[in-house]
Structure 1
Amino acid sequence: MTILTLALALNFVDRQVINILAEPIRYELDLADWQIGLMSGMAFALLYGIAGIPFARLADRGHRPRIMAVAVLAWSGFTIACSFAMSFPQLLLGRVGVGVGEAGLTPAANSLIVDYFPAERRASALSIYYLGVPLGSLAGLALGGLVADAYGWRTAFLVAGLPGLLIAPLLWIGLHEPRTRFGQRTETEPGLLAVLRTIWSVRTYRLVAVATACQAAVGYGFGPFLASFFVRNHGPEITQLAARAGIGVSGFLGLALGLSIGLAGAIGVWLGGHLADRYGRRDVRAYVTIPALASLAALPCYAVIFSMSDGRLALVALAIPNILGAMWMGPIHSTHQSVMPAQIRGGATALFLLVLNIVGVGLGPLLVGALSDLLSWRLGYDPGASLRASLILTSLMAPLAALLFWRARMSIEFDFKR
């Protein structure tokens, strides 16, 4: 589990580092907010989601540790390539490559973890794996900001990509593959489209996939713009706090946001998995009830935080919705795996991630950026005010996610017993 969690953490280091670098990249390459959203969201998510399907087919009958090792090498190489980008199209192409590489990790990892652990321990086990999300976000934001302040954003990409070259060999030789036969396909095995239709026909799976995509549109949509929000709306205060800490603004915000997203997110991931396994033993509906309540509780937090005049208080308070917004990971990944037959769990993960990434990771940042640009003229061309309004409007996706999670309560018992 340690190696898998570390691999996912590196996945999110390379994914999140661009978020803390958005402002210096925007200034150097003269980008609009929608380009930041496209570069950090859709460029990554589209290829991540599409490439996940063939990777999942490999994961369903291949050697999963070796698949993951090759994937780590690929995305690390493209992250390093981003440090040499001299234009927006070049950087966009680099992020597309990162997305393709990262698509190879989680379908294989989820499938492997489900084989390692019995059903009653899967949410907790998957929560340990998904601790890599907040921990990697912490490292990506904190180290990315500090390195960018000292050496520039290009060096930050280089530093983010190098550790993957060390982790890939550990995955190749350090993980046990329970399968004894690989690449075996029977004549009666259904094709890709038949598998996808089978997966999507499960009602609980459909509901949690779309709900998670809505939740991700909030969490991942905010990611590329949180540092920009604090710079634009609390600039003098943040500059003063950074000066007191003896570091630059990017470094300070990287540390502050990294601690908020990383530590608070880790608490949320662990808490969600722990509560789901604890109460799910008596009532499996707990696996979707807990994410529903957490998503709904996060909504008012965003509106209050983004409207605060005190930047320091807003940074601290951001930890609350970060805890709530991470509580779905263990329960929902356990749910979508548990309602599927073992032979198509890799495909189930890939389709789940396709929906999550296209809607959440892809459209989320693009929506925030486009709304910010659209609202700018209505708010006196104030970039801080337009971004604040855009973030608050985007947070309205959270109650939709809560509603869909809640509706899954009606089918989860049946689908668990299929």
Structure 2
Amino acid sequence: MSRPHLAVAAEPVVPAVPAAAGPRYAWLVFALTFGLLLSDYMSRQVLNAVFPLLKAEWQLGDTELGALGGVVALMVGVLALPLSLLADRWGRVRSLILMAALWSLATLGCAVADSFGQMFLARLCVGIGEAAYGSVGIAVVVSVFPRHLRASLSAAFMAGGAFGSVLGMGLGGVLSAHFGWRAAFAGIAAFGLVLVACYYLTISEERLRGLQERMGGASGSAAPARQIAARRIVRELLMVPSVLCACMGSALQLLVLASLQAWLPSFLSRDYGMATGNAGVAAALLVMIAGVGMVICGALTDRVARHAPARKWQMAIAYSVVCCLLLMTGFRLHTGPAQLALIGAGMLVAGGTAGPASAMVANLARPAIHATAFATLTLINNLLGLAPGPFLTGVLADRIGLAGALQWIPLASAAAVLLFCIGRRHYAADLRRLESPDHPALRADPAASA
């Protein structure tokens, strides 16, 4: 349900956002949207912290435990695009509030589940709620900031996934150790519901539109997504080669990062003889390095490409090349400080393409369909990167050992370089074609005018 807004008689509706408060409100939008992203990944990853307790209490097998985690990723992969398309049409703020409320309540449902079946249903609802949050959340954030900050903001936003994962596992572990596994789910759910209430009370579609107009945003220049046929939106995205290259290059780079996130604890345990707890902590620190690296690389990209947006492609290429060289070299060294240093350095740039890729996708799509464009990025990231990465590493590990597998997985970064190079060649022409009034995707939609 939309909230009332203030209107001035006989004038267009412009929400009361003082010019001086515009930037402050934009950062409030970012902070609350980022906070909900933390809640998203905390709700997703808290399960990992209570695996041993669930296994013991309900006598579950590893396959059942894996299903509880996998159903969330499955829902995100399947529903990200259609739900983001609906959000572009229905209203992004209302959609975000509904999504966050759903996954928080579903996480609370996990706390009161009495069987595997009930827990599975609750986790499925967590996945439905989280499916489109990343794409719609980024669309909201980039809509209230200047174009030259898109890589920084997108990278910082996506890094929230790494930070939220660490927080979910850490806080879940502490709460479950002191109060039981049900308290872990309940605590994470309470955090999410508080943020939902804050978002509902402070953020609205009307205030966002007013802020975009005061800051020179482009939202008013695009037709609302509800006036555009769904197939026309999809065709508009699929007609742009550089969009597909940016998405696929980002996915291959994330394949490397996802593989390391999944297998670093096992690598440290097997090759360094670390206890399971110590290996988990060390791996979490490396994941944190990757999250910090996303932010740093995004900010650096915006600085370098501020007056030449096409340089974002060059930065993405550079991050992929450096990642490939550092990780392939590091995993070929003998165990020791030098190896860990190179792995840490590789993790710093492993997610570096996230910001540039998101910014390029935003630049190549009209503001009215940003959520759908980011959902396309999310879908490809999941199908080509996040989902197959850990599995492919496991298949290779069964044949050549885990250390050997990790030596070859970084080659995916080389493939990402090739895709970014192809996208760079098409970028300028795609921008001109997209901005042309003769572009078929920008012509008037007969269905909308009927």
Tell me the TM-score normalized by structure 1.
0.79
Cα distance in 2 for partners of 1:288, 1:37 equals: 37
**2:384 aligned with 1:359:** yes
The aligned residue for residue 14 of structure 2 is none
Deviations 1:28-87 (A, max 9, x none): 74437xx8877655x333321322223212322333222112211222334455564865
Aligned: 1:258 with 2:289:
no
Q: Distance in 2 between matches of 1:400 and 1:222?
A: 17
Asked if 1:332 is matched to 2:360, the reply is: no
2:44 aligns with 15
Aligned ranges 1:147-296 → 2 under 5 Å: 147=175, 156-177=184-205, 178-179=208-209, 189-235=227-273, 238-239=274-275, 249-250=276-277, 252-262=278-288, 264-296=289-321
Distance 1:187 1:12 in 2: 28
Q: Aligned to 1:163, what secondary structure does the other structure show?
A: helix
Confirm or deny that 1:71 pairs with 2:88.
no
Whether the 8 Å contact between 2:224 and 2:368 is mirrored in structure 1 is: no
Given residue 40 of structure 2, which amino acid in structure 1 is its aligned partner? Answer: N
Choose between structure 1 and 2 for higher RCO, CA contacts under 8 A separated by at least 6 residues. 1
**Contact 1:261–1:319 (8 Å) recurs in 2:** no
Structure 2 gaps of 5+ residues are: 1-29, 211-218, 436-450
Structure-2 separation of matches of 1:49 and 1:81:
22
Query: RMSD across aligned C-alpha pairs, in angstroms?
Result: 3.4
Query: What are structure 1's unaligned runs of at least 5 residues?
Result: 240-248, 380-385
Partner amino acid for 2:233?
V
Check conservation: 1:127, 1:270, Cα contact below 8 A. yes
The residue matched to 1:117 in structure 2 has which SS?
coil
Larger Rg: 2
The counterpart of 1:2, out of the listed 31, 42, 57, is 31
Separation in structure 2 between the aligned mates of residue 206 and residue 346 of structure 1, nearest angstrom? 16
Q: Give the Cα separation in 2 of the matches to 1:159 and 1:368.
A: 34
Structure 1 Cα separation of the partners of residues 279 and 156 of structure 2: 27
- Deviation, 1:204, is 0.9
Q: Which amino acid aligns with 2:268?
A: F
Counterparts of residues 302-313 of structure 1 (less than 5 Å): 302-306=327-331, 310=335
Match of 2:428 among 409, 413, 417: 413
- Partner Cα distance (2:128, 2:191) in 1: 18
1:339·1:415 contact (CA, 8 Å) conserved in 2? yes
Deviating more after overlay: 404-413 vs 222-231: 222-231
1:313 Cα deviation (Å)? 6.3
More deviation in 300-309 or 162-171?
Answer: 300-309
For residues 315-373 of structure 1, what are the alpha-carbon distances to aligned partners after superposition, in whole Å with 9 as ceiling and x for unaligned?
Answer: 5554312210121122211110111112222211112211111222222233233444x
What is residue 31 of structure 1 aligned with on the other side?
Answer: 62
Partner letter of residue 324 of structure 2? L
**What one-letter code is carried by the residue in structure 1 that aligns with 2:62?**
L
Residue number in structure 2 paired with 1:98: 126
CA distance in 2, matches of 1:312, 1:80: 43
Q: Secondary structure at the match of 2:62?
A: coil
Render the CA deviation track for 1:90-119: whole Å, top value 9, x for unaligned. 766554433221123223222222321222
Q: Does the 8 A contact of 1:17 with 1:141 survive in 2?
A: yes
Between the two proteins, the alignment pairs up a number of residues equal to 388
Report the CA distance shift for 1:186/1:328 in structure 2 as closer, same or farther (over 3 A).
closer
Q: Structure 1 residues 301, 154: closer, same or farther in 2, change over 3 A?
A: farther
Work out whether residues 139 and 258 of structure 1, in 8 Å CA contact, stay in contact via their aligned partners in 2. Answer: no
